[in-house]
């Protein structure tokens, strides 16, 4: 009986997924995608303001305000800072999504495409999603980050580096791209 | 009208619909785009004719009819698998790079599923029950591969032009129903053969409707998409990858502050 539930559920879920995917791959969806794929939307804009935003994330300001301002002012400042930080993070995600779309468009029109190259892009994408989730959680929880979060961050960064090394190994000309 | 007669009546209707679909396929010269799928449609028509002949001579409950039904069914599942290769090729082959990367994934997934099916069905006793098991596993492999194809198409923004979308829907819809009905048949449930047959015939009628709808108009000439050379691609994608890494570094800086 378990087999029946397993196979039945699997078949229904896959069918529903296929119908949803088919509805998004028709000619109408292509026209909508073409509008979204205006070249200016691909390029990252928000990440340019990182130096200004970096100040927002520094803990020195909070220490200073705690000694000089009232508790109400400090609370309001913290709430506003949290709001601005979340907005900035979501803008970074927009930047990344644009690059991701550009990367897939380039791949679509490539005459030759290595599976490893695509795995690299998927790896970068996964790394970003993980980092984004961690950063959002950190901002929502308040400052500073706990030791556990720092440990996970190091783990993700290390994994990203290893993925990058593996993916770039067969492409010597891309070696200069490693920051 | 009991389920046996309803099933037979719907079976006749399905054969008529199939004649219409085959006529449309030949009129639209579908064999140029999907030769295996066209062959599959003609094979179904031939199998229906053979089943009808055996039904008339031996009767519905005869061993001869059961044997013919299952043997032709096994052949048709294999032909559906070949039609699926056609579908993947027709959908992606114009984008040579995507096709190069995707076929590895699609072929690998199909082989893994077929190997898993062979392992799961090994040791099943009785030829009919064995065929039910094999059919279910093969149909599940078809469903999974179609979904993977749709995911790859969506990921790279490759549009499934007419008639490919309708053909994909027909294939996956019928295969999903076969997976469900075969699973019910394998379990010791009180479901009679005519009810099982009725569900499949209805599903096939839906699939035929989707195929006919997809082929209702002449196919438009598919324009070959512009493709970049390996050097151009490496230059452009390298720049994009570097930007992505920069963004990841930004978030890391936020986390490490």
Cross-chain CB nearest to A11 (options B143, B225, B248): B143
Distance from CA of B107 to the nearest CA of A (A): 13
Residue B224 resides in a domain: no
CB atoms within 10 A of CB B99: 19
What tens digit of pLDDT does each residue of B202-222 get? 999 999 999 999 999 888 777
User: Are B69 and B171 contained in the same domain?
Assistant: yes
> What are the distances in angstroms from CA A84 to CA A128, A133, B13, B58, B202?
20, 16, 64, 79, 56
Q: What is the mean pLDDT of residues A1-17?
A: 90
> What are the distances in angstroms from CA A42 to CA A96, A124, A129, B153?
9, 17, 18, 20
> Does residue B219 contact residue B163 with C-beta atoms inside 8 Å?
yes
- Domain residues for the domain of B257 are 229-257
User: Are B177 and B233 contained in the same domain?
Assistant: no
Q: Does the beta-carbon distance from A4 to B154 stay under 8 Å?
A: no
Best mutation target among B154, B157, B227 (most A Cβ atoms within 10 Å) is B157
Best mutation target among A10, A42, A111, A130 (most B Cβ atoms within 10 Å) is A111
User: Are B147 and B233 contained in the same domain?
Assistant: no
User: Are B61 and B150 contained in the same domain?
Assistant: yes
> Does residue A123 contact residue A160 with C-beta atoms inside 8 Å?
yes
In 3-state terms chain B splits into helix, strand, coil percentages (rounded to 5) of 80, 0, 20
> Does residue A27 contact residue B163 with C-beta atoms inside 8 Å?
no
> Does residue B185 contact residue B132 with C-beta atoms inside 8 Å?
yes
* CA–CA distance, B83 with B86 (Å, rounded to integer): 5
User: Are B118 and B236 contained in the same domain?
Assistant: no
Q: What is the mean pLDDT of residues A19-28?
A: 79
Q: Which residue has the higher pLDDT, A102 or B98?
A: B98
- Angle among Cα A14, A15, A18 to the nearest 5 degrees reads 85
Query: Quick one: pLDDT at residue B124?
Result: 65
Phi, psi of B237 (to 5 degrees): -70, -30
What tens digit of pLDDT does each residue of B161-191 get? 888 999 999 999 999 999 999 888 877 767 6
What tens digit of pLDDT does each residue of B102-121 get? 888 888 888 888 888 778 77
User: Are B163 and B193 contained in the same domain?
Assistant: yes
Q: Does the beta-carbon distance from B104 to A115 stay under 8 Å?
A: yes
* CA–CA distance, B14 with B6 (Å, rounded to integer): 12
> Quick check: B192 contacting A, CB < 8 Å?
no
pTM exceeding the 0.90 threshold for the entire prediction: no
Query: Quick one: pLDDT at residue B205?
Result: 94
Whose tokens are 């699609």? That residue is B106
Mean pLDDT of chain A: 71
Residue B152 resides in a domain: yes
**Residue in chain A nearest B141 by alpha carbon:** A11
User: Are B155 and B198 contained in the same domain?
Assistant: yes
ipTM of the complex: 0.82
Beta bridge pairs of residue B52: none
User: Chain B 105-144, CB below 8 Å of chain A: which residues?
Assistant: 105, 136, 140, 143-144
User: Are B237 and B139 contained in the same domain?
Assistant: no
Q: What is the mean pLDDT of residues A3-25?
A: 90
User: Are B207 and B252 contained in the same domain?
Assistant: no
Please give the tally of structural domains in chain B.
Answer: 2
> Quick check: B57 contacting A, CB < 8 Å?
no
> Quick check: B199 contacting A, CB < 8 Å?
no
**Residue in chain B nearest A36 by alpha carbon:** B157
* CA–CA distance, A154 with A159 (Å, rounded to integer): 8
User: Are B191 and B248 contained in the same domain?
Assistant: no
The Cα diameter of chain A in Å comes to 69
Residue B124 resides in a domain: yes
Query: Quick one: pLDDT at residue A96?
Result: 78
* CA–CA distance, B115 with B131 (Å, rounded to integer): 16
CB atoms within 10 A of CB A69: 13
Q: How many CB pairs under 8 A join A and B?
A: 217
Structure tokens at A16: 């529903």
Q: Does the beta-carbon distance from A174 to B186 stay under 8 Å?
A: no
Q: Does the beta-carbon distance from B97 to A108 stay under 8 Å?
A: yes
Q: Does the beta-carbon distance from B246 to A177 stay under 8 Å?
A: no
Q: Does the beta-carbon distance from B252 to A30 stay under 8 Å?
A: no
Residue B222 resides in a domain: no
Cross-chain CB nearest to B254 (options A24, A57, A157): A57
Cross-chain CB nearest to A30 (options B159, B172, B228): B159
Q: Does the beta-carbon distance from A106 to B228 stay under 8 Å?
A: yes
**Partners of residue A173 in chain B, C-beta under 8 Å:** 234
Sequence-ordered list of residues with C-beta below 8 angstroms from that of B3, at least 6 positions apart, any chain: B192, B194, B195, B198
- Tally of CA atoms within 13 A in the half-sphere of A33 that contains its CB: 17
**Partners of residue A164 in chain B, C-beta under 8 Å:** 245
User: Are B213 and B132 contained in the same domain?
Assistant: yes
Q: Does the beta-carbon distance from A25 to B180 stay under 8 Å?
A: no
Q: Which residue has the higher pLDDT, B251 or A161?
A: B251
Query: Quick one: pLDDT at residue A99?
Result: 78
The Cα diameter of chain B in Å comes to 83
């Amino acid at each position: 009986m378990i087999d029946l539930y397993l196979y039945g559920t699997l078949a229904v879920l896959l069918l529903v997924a296929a119908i949803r995917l088919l509805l998004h791959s028709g000619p109408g969806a292509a026209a909508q995608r073409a509008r979204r794929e205006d070249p200016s939307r691909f390029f990252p804009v928000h990440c340019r303001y990182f130096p200004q935003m970096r100040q927002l994330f520094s803990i020195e300001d909070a220490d200073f305000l705690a000694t000089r301002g009232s508790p109400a002012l400090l609370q309001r400042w913290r709430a506003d800072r949290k709001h601005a930080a979340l907005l900035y993070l979501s803008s970074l995600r927009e930047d990344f999504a644009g690059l991701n779309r550009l990367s897939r468009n380039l791949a679509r029109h490539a005459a030759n495409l290595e599976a490893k190259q695509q795995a690299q892009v998927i790896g970068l994408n996964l790394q970003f999603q993980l980092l984004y989730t961690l950063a959002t959680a950190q901002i929502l929880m308040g400052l500073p980050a706990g030791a556990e979060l720092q440990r996970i961050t190091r783990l993700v960064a290390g994994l990203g580096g290893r993925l990058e090394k593996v993916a770039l190994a067969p492409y010597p000309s891309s070696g200069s791209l490693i920051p | 009208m009991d389920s046996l007669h309803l099933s037979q009546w719907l079976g006749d209707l399905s054969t008529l619909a199939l004649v219409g679909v085959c006529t449309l396929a030949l009129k639209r010269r579908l064999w140029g785009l999907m030769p295996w799928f066209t062959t599959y449609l003609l094979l179904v028509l031939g199998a229906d004719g053979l089943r009808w002949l055996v039904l008339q001579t031996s009767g519905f409950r005869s061993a001869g009819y059961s044997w013919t039904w299952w043997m032709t069914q096994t052949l048709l599942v294999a032909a559906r698998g070949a039609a699926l290769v056609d579908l993947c090729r027709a959908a992606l082959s114009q984008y040579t790079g995507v096709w190069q990367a995707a076929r590895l994934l699609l072929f690998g997934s199909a082989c893994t599923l077929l190997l898993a099916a062979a392992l799961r069905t090994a040791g099943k006793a009785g030829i009919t029950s064995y065929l039910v098991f094999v059919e279910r596993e093969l149909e599940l492999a078809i469903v999974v591969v179609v979904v993977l194809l749709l995911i790859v198409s969506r990921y790279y923004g490759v549009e499934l032009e007419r008639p490919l979308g309708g053909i994909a829907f027909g294939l996956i819809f019928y295969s999903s129903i076969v997976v469900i009905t075969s699973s019910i048949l394998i379990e010791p449930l009180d479901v009679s053969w005519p009810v099982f047959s009725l569900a499949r015939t209805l599903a096939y009628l839906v699939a035929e409707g989707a195929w006919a709808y997809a082929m209702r108009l002449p196919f438009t000439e598919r324009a070959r998409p512009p493709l970049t050379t390996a050097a151009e691609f490496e230059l452009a994608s390298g720049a994009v990858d570097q930007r992505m890494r920069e963004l990841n570094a930004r978030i890391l800086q936020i986390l490490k502050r």
